């Protein structure tokens, strides 16, 4: 049953993204900035609505009070496509994603996000990539956007973690911007590298902002990592019990 519902959901995504992406490209000839961003978010709301109605994927959020009404850099756990779709529909400010430029080549979806105020980088040219993140991140935040960077860089399986890279905290220190860590249990319902969704509840926990004053990027990122990983184990303990190595005989 999950396979059938997921297949219907994928067809829903494909059918709606073609129409909406073409509309976004057309509208972007006349409208840019925040107005185009919120117009684009209509499709993401349809995607999250479809996941809930078709596949039974719901979500609940705690820690809303930790989001300030000022510039911040969001640092979420990254387990699935779900949070990539969901965060722009949930946050009160336009989000500026930092992502690899290869995503721009995805038909329709890539064409649409290429018209938004996002930061797409060439990961093979690290010095140039960082200069672009620093300059465009500062500019977009000055326009009222929030920057969002997944510190693990890529999706990780449920119950595991990837290496936390200090790009977000480096930007935070360079721009004097707090970092907000976020734990997300999305792999509970939408596993990594899979389009078979399972019904259930995705928990999102928003941590308190971490100020960059007097910090070093690596040391600041370690604090982000400690908070997220401890919170993940609180929200989804069975995933980490299953992933724990077996005890060695003594």
Residue 206, beta-bridge partner list? 182
Instruction: For residue 234, give the nearest of 162, 181, 200, 184 by alpha carbon.
Output: 184
Does the residue 31 lie in any domain? Answer: yes
Per-residue pLDDT, 148: 97
Does the residue 249 lie in any domain? Answer: no
Instruction: For residue range 36-46, list pLDDT tens digits in order.
Output: 999 999 999 99
**C-alpha to C-alpha distances, 118 to 11, 22, 30, 192, nearest whole angstrom:** 27, 18, 18, 24
Does the residue 93 lie in any domain? Answer: yes
Residue 73, beta-bridge partner list? 147, 179
- pLDDT band for position 126 (50/70/90)? confident
Report the number of distinct structural domains present in the chain.
1
Per-residue pLDDT, 32: 92
Does the residue 247 lie in any domain? Answer: no
CATH number at residue 102: 3.40.1130
Per-residue pLDDT, 250: 36
Per-residue pLDDT, 103: 87
**Contact present, 183 and 230 (Cβ < 8 Å):** no
CA torsion 230-234-236-237 (nearest 10°) is 100
The share of the chain scoring above pLDDT 90, in percent, equals 83
Instruction: For residue range 51-63, list pLDDT tens digits in order.
Output: 999 999 999 999 9
What's the pTM?
0.91
Does the residue 26 lie in any domain? Answer: yes
Instruction: For residue range 130-180, list pLDDT tens digits in order.
Output: 889 999 999 999 999 999 999 998 899 999 999 999 999 999 999 999 999
pLDDT at 244 over 60: no
Query: What's the CA gap between 53 and 50, in Å, rounded?
Result: 5
- pLDDT band for position 193 (50/70/90)? confident
Does the residue 16 lie in any domain? Answer: yes
What are the two backbone dihedrals, phi and then psi, of residue 194, each rounded to the nearest 5 degrees?
-140, 145
Does the residue 212 lie in any domain? Answer: yes
Per-residue pLDDT, 248: 41
Helix (H) or strand (E) holding 240: helix 237-243
Query: What's the CA gap between 47 and 221, in Å, rounded?
Result: 31
- Per the structure, the complete domain to which residue 100 belongs is given by 2-242
């Amino acid at each position: 049953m999950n396979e059938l519902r997921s297949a219907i959901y994928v067809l829903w995504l494909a059918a709606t993204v073609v129409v909406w992406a073409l509309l976004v490209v057309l509208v972007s000839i006349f409208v840019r900035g925040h107005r185009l961003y919120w117009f684009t978010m209509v499709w993401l709301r349809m995607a999250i609505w479809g996941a809930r109605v078709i596949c039974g994927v719901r979500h609940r959020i705690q820690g809303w009070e930790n989001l300030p009404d000022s510039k911040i850099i969001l640092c979420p756990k990254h387990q699935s496509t779900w949070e990539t779709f969901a965060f722009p529909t949930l946050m009160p400010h336009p989000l500026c994603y930092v992502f690899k430029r290869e995503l721009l080549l995805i038909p329709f979806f890539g064409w649409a996000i290429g018209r938004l105020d996002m930061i797409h980088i060439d990961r093979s040219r690290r010095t140039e990539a960082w200069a672009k993140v620093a300059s465009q991140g500062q500019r977009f935040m000055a326009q009222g956007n929030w920057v969002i960077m997944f510190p693990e860089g890529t999706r990780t399986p449920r119950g595991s973690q990837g290496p936390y890279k200090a790009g977000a905290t480096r930007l935070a220190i360079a721009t004097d911007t707090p970092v907000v860590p976020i734990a997300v249990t999305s792999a509970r319902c939408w596993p990594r590298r899979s389009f078979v969704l399972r019904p259930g509840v995705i928990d999102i926990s928003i941590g308190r902002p971490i100020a960059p004053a007097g910090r070093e990027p690596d040391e600041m990122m370690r604090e982000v990592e400690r908070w997220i990983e401890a919170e993940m184990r609180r929200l989804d303990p069975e995933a980490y019990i299953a992933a724990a190595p077996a005890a060695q005989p003594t």
